[in-house]
Amino acid sequence: MSQPSPEVYEQGRGMDAHNEVMRSIRAQKDRTYDPHEPTRVWIDEDNTPDGVRQSLTIILNTGGCRWARAGGCTMCGYVAESVEGGSVSHEALMDQIEVCLDHEREEADEESPLIKIYTSGSFLDEREVGASSREAIAETFGDRERIVVESLPDFVERGKLADFTDQGLATDVAVGLETATDRVRHDCVNKYFDFEEFVAASEAAADAGAGIKAYLLCKPPFLAEPEAVEDMKRSIRRCAEHAHTVSMNPTNVQRYTMVDELHFRGGYRPPWLWSVAEILESTADVDAIVVSDPVGHGSERGPHNCGECDDRVQRAIKDFDLRQDPSVFEQVSCECEATWEAVMARETSFNMPLDR
């Protein structure tokens, strides 16, 4: 992995210590990756403001998030999958797009109306994706219905979004807000911006004719289970005022992260799937699409219950994502729900999870 360089973001924000630890953890990574191959690509279905649509999800390998190279978020290990050198050429990026189109042709009967492009950083950061690459990608998908691009609030600008909106594409910016609580975002996630900067980005997107998809993080490190659940309920309601879709993602334990270090020492348990269900059910009345995609569900390093009911609860969550009907959660039950209820009533310390 190329030598990370701290950016001005951390200066005066009390993030120096977190970033120093994160840089030392990330330096353990020794794998290399092909800049002509995307990190991941898959076909799925997503709930959009226009209804459920088949989606082509693309994770571009852009060389890594600049904030992650400074140290970055406590739970995010995606920069460890980036190529050496911290940048990828226009030609290599377009090769990645072609690999993704080949995958779509092989796996889907028809073109996906919805395209989602993530970089595990900021697609709108021209250090990751240059202007010429952004324009070419916009032209490539100009005949689709909707596109989602990932970005930190800093880079949400009308001119950059115009590359997509001028194609007639319904355009959304996916912002990794993580929580509407500034203290949790700074101290638990180690993300540098404030909620008001997210609001400003949503206004900039609206001015460009684009929408916002807010990404939240359920149970970052240093929160007990009941604290994490309440933080998500508050955050979803605040985000719904500025985003048409809120995606609440339970933390999974990724390598080369602070969360991984804590988990290894018995100081972190991923959230219960019952917590995810509780959050979705209690916020089903908000004026936004609220979804969740528990990655690694049922595993020790992913959101899980007892092991017996994990798949059933996961199916209920997926069903809710598509239909937005909270009654789906009334159809799943398990004896371990009583254990979860005890955790919610009694767990007060983040570093002593009551149940693994």
Domains of the chain: 8-346 (3.20.20.70)
Question: Rounded CA gap, 66 and 72, in Å?
Answer: 8
Pairing verdict, β 40-48 and 51-59: antiparallel
Tens digit of pLDDT per residue, the chain (356 long)? 333 344 445 455 556 666 677 666 666 666 667 899 999 999 999 999 999 999 999 999 987 787 877 778 999 877 667 666 667 999 999 999 999 999 999 999 999 999 999 997 899 999 999 999 999 999 999 999 999 999 999 999 999 999 999 999 999 999 999 999 999 999 999 998 999 999 999 999 999 999 999 999 999 999 999 999 999 999 999 999 999 999 999 999 998 899 999 999 999 999 999 999 999 999 999 999 999 999 999 899 999 999 999 999 999 999 999 999 999 999 999 999 999 999 999 998 766 666 76
CB atoms within 10 A of CB 308: 11
> Residue 121's closest CA among 159, 168, 164, 155?
155
**pLDDT computed for residue 317 by the predictor:** 97
65 CB-near residues (< 8 Å, 6+ apart): 72, 76, 78, 79, 119, 120, 121, 122, 128
Question: Rounded CA gap, 135 and 328, in Å?
Answer: 42
> Residue 235's closest CA among 226, 244, 246, 225?
246
Query: What Cα–Cα distance (Å) separates residue 316 from each residue in 143, 225, 273?
Result: 33, 21, 10
Label residue 11 exposed, middle or buried (CB < 10 Å: 0-12, 13-18, 19+): exposed
- Cβ 20 vs Cβ 79: under 8 Å: no
**pLDDT computed for residue 4 by the predictor:** 37
DSSP assignment, residue 65?
-
- Cα four-point dihedral sign 38, 40, 44, 45: negative
Tokens linked to 92: 């290599």
